[in-house]
Chains A and B, each alone.
Chain A
Amino acid sequence: MVSGCLAKIVFSDTRHNYLLHYLAALGVVLLTPVIFGVSRLDERLAAQPLEFFLPLMGAILMPAVFMPEQNESIRDVVRSKKTPYPGVCFMRLLCGAVFITVLTGAFVLYMKSMDSVVTMRLFAGSLASTFALGAAGFFASAVSDNVIVGYMTAVIYYICNFGLKDKLGVFFLFSMTTGSFDEKKWLCILSVVLIAAGFVLRRLFRER
């Protein structure tokens, strides 16, 4: 990619298509200390905000990747350019992931400064849950070509974690609050598989 192009694409895209999403994700982080205790928590209690609430950032940012081109005419114009359209979408996903990682990291540091026991594995576990939740929404919106279905899927997955709890097995998002970390690697695998499958299936069915 020619230098400057990438920056331009990312900047314009963020400004015009995702500003509100990023603000909403930031809102989630800012709201967390209001709802949850963040000071002097042991590892298990510290996992609560990191698992119950921060993953909503994934649900906000990741299903919206295909949103700006839901209008087919816009999609055709964007797709007719040299930069591959899946590349643009992947870049959005990457920007979202970086944003999520930075905010989660900042929040973890904030909790640490409030004397809570936040470890590296809590940080990684929180990210795994965030990406898994977001990837579920991403996959659904990629396949259905409907962002609302993407959000719906993410919300359903989230609710299932309250309702079905450990019946979800390795896909349980809130395992750290029960002291288990094994699920997290499965959530990482799930995220990668869903994102890859989302791109592949979309290519097969939606962009013929």
Chain B
Amino acid sequence: MLFGKECRRILTSLTFIIYCFVVGLFFVSQFIDENKGDPYIPDEKISEDHDIIIDSAVDCLANEYLANNYICYPLGFYKSVRLKEDDSQKVEECLLEITGLTHDELMDIRDSGEHYYVEHGIQETMYYEIGELPVSDTITYERFCELMGQVDDILGGGSKYKVDDLVANYSYVPMTQEDREAIISDLYDKDRVVGGYARLFSDYVGIDLGIMPVFVAAALVSADRRKRVSDLIYTRKISSLKLIFTRYTALVTMMFIPVILCMISADIHLIRYFDFNDLALYKMFTLPTFWLLPQLMIVTAAAMIVTEVFSSGIAILFQFAWWFYSIMADGARLSGSISKFDLVCRHNTVFGREEFMLSKNDFIFNRIFYFIAAIVITAITAYIYELKRGGRFHGIRLFGKNSIFRHKA
């Protein structure tokens, strides 16, 4: 059977062996080694209280505005932004609308307080001690989010005012003893322990699955060209749709096997540290499969189509860029904000069920979207393969007709 043969071909490929090794290594070094004993309980929690969010955000914005120094993390790395006069003016308008102050009132507040210096790099920035600013009575949370979005756009993204992150940035409140007890009981009652660890597991393994499959898939797809058997395969009876889907299924199946083995190991690991009766072991299979399989599928599908159209090198470059962006775009935030189109969904904590549930709908949309997208992309790949087979398409050469890239599969 073709499926079996493709699986065997993948099994013996060097890229797949390395893939298995990396998945295993990351699982052991991140999940197993870091989770021995009681899990770490954070000191703060998200409150989701709109008043708290608006209060904290507006103070932060006012501070940065008056100093004209905005600290951004566009891809997780430090970047300080200074705005020109007209952009600064726009930010001020937003600030005034939220606070309900006039320009003069704001300047009075600025001048009445002391100022102090903060070192950013080698630069000392003057900040004003302005205390807490008022919030306009007429401002709604929706309008506030809209204004924050405008500010984030003016700053070029990655600022502290990114709408999706407002809740996570500004609604943290210290945990009380009751809160602590509540999240522990959530872990035991709602998550049956394994659920919490399953999210952490998915978080870690998801990082690998955002990039590693591209190598296995690109190597398999480009092997035909590299070993010059494309024409031999083109002339076989099998339909393009069947061939591509068989290869695709074989790739996804084979690459998911090490993940399943890790799930089993994770369960065994938990049995060692927790009372067996507290554990719902099946949760280590259900959530991570829903979390990781669509991701594996989309990465594999993208790798296949880009390799068919361009080359394996471009596929790797593309996937690296997508993965890097996805990992870094949320900056230092490792949990609490899964958005609709994140490739790698992060939730780097055992607790925080509630936090996770906040983005539950987006998360479900995200995974179903990628699941369907992967299948559609694979179907398109089959169509492209069919075109190549019929000599109607020869792949795209970057930089025009005389480009050099096509042969580099």
A interface residues, Cβ below 8 angstroms from B: 15-17, 19-20, 24, 34-37, 39-42, 45-46, 48-49, 52, 60, 64, 67, 70-71, 115-117, 144, 146-149, 151-153, 155-156, 159, 163-164, 167
Contacts and interface: CB of A to CB of B under 8 A. Distances in A.
Contact of A37 (B80, B207, B328, B398): B80
Contact of B78 (A48, A64, A167): A48
Given A15-B404, A48-B78, A71-B226, 9 more contacts: A40-B122, A41-B122, A42-B122, A67-B408, A146-B15, A148-B215, A155-B215, A163-B29, A163-B207
A155 B312 CA distance: 15
Nearest to A53: B77
Provide the main secondary structure of the chain A interface.
Answer: helix
B78 A36 contact: yes
A13 B207 CA distance: 36
Contacts of A151: 215, 313, 316
B78 A37 contact: yes
Given A17-B404, A116-B122, A52 B77 contact: yes
Given A34-B74, A40-B123, A49-B77, A149 B207 contact: no
B18 A156 contact: yes
B329 to A, nearest CB: 10
Interface residues of B, number: 38
Given A39-B80, A148-B312, A159 B211 contact: yes
A148 B30 contact: no
7 contacts: A36-B77, A48-B78, A115-B122, A149-B18, A151-B316, A152-B15, A152-B212
Contacts of A71: 226, 228
A190 B79 CA distance: 32
Contact of B15 (A19, A116, A148): A148
Nearest to A46: B121
Interface string B206-218: 0110011001001
B20 interface: no
A64 to B, nearest CB: 8
B26 interface: yes
Nearest to A44: B121
A7 B374 CA distance: 47
A42 B120 CA distance: 8
Contacts of B228: 71
A45 B312 CA distance: 35
Query: Most chain-A CB neighbours within 10 Å: which of B121, B218, B313, B399?
Result: B121
B309 to A, nearest CB: 15
A19 B207 CA distance: 31
Contacts of B317: 24, 60
B46 interface: no
Contacts of B222: 148
Interface in B127-144: none
B320 interface: yes
Contacts of A40: 80, 120-123
B405 interface: yes
A147 B219 CA distance: 9
Contacts of A15: 404
Contacts of B399: 20
Given A40-B122, A41-B122, A155-B320, A149 B15 contact: yes
A130 to B, nearest CB: 16
Query: Most chain-A CB neighbours within 10 Å: which of B74, B398, B404?
Result: B404
A117 B122 CA distance: 8
Contacts of A148: 15, 215, 218-219, 222, 312, 316
Given A149-B18, A155-B211, A159-B211, A45 B74 contact: no
A152 B313 CA distance: 11
B407 to A, nearest CB: 8
A35 B74 contact: yes
Contacts of B77: 35-37, 48-49, 52
Contacts of A153: 18
A155 B79 CA distance: 25
Contacts of A42: 121-122
B14 interface: yes
A45 B78 contact: yes
B75 interface: yes
A65 to B, nearest CB: 13
B264 interface: no
A45 B80 CA distance: 11
Nearest to A39: B80
Contacts of A156: 18, 22
A152 B316 CA distance: 9
Contacts of A41: 78, 121-122
Given A35-B74, A148-B316, A163-B29, A116 B121 contact: yes
A165 to B, nearest CB: 11
A87 B29 CA distance: 40
A167 B77 CA distance: 21
Contacts of A149: 14-15, 18, 215, 219
A37 B78 CA distance: 6
A16 B122 contact: no
Interface string B311-336: 01100110010000000100000000
Interface string B379-409: 0000000000000000000110000110010
Contacts of A64: 313
A37 B79 contact: yes
Nearest to B407: A71
Interface in B16-39: 18, 22, 26, 29-30
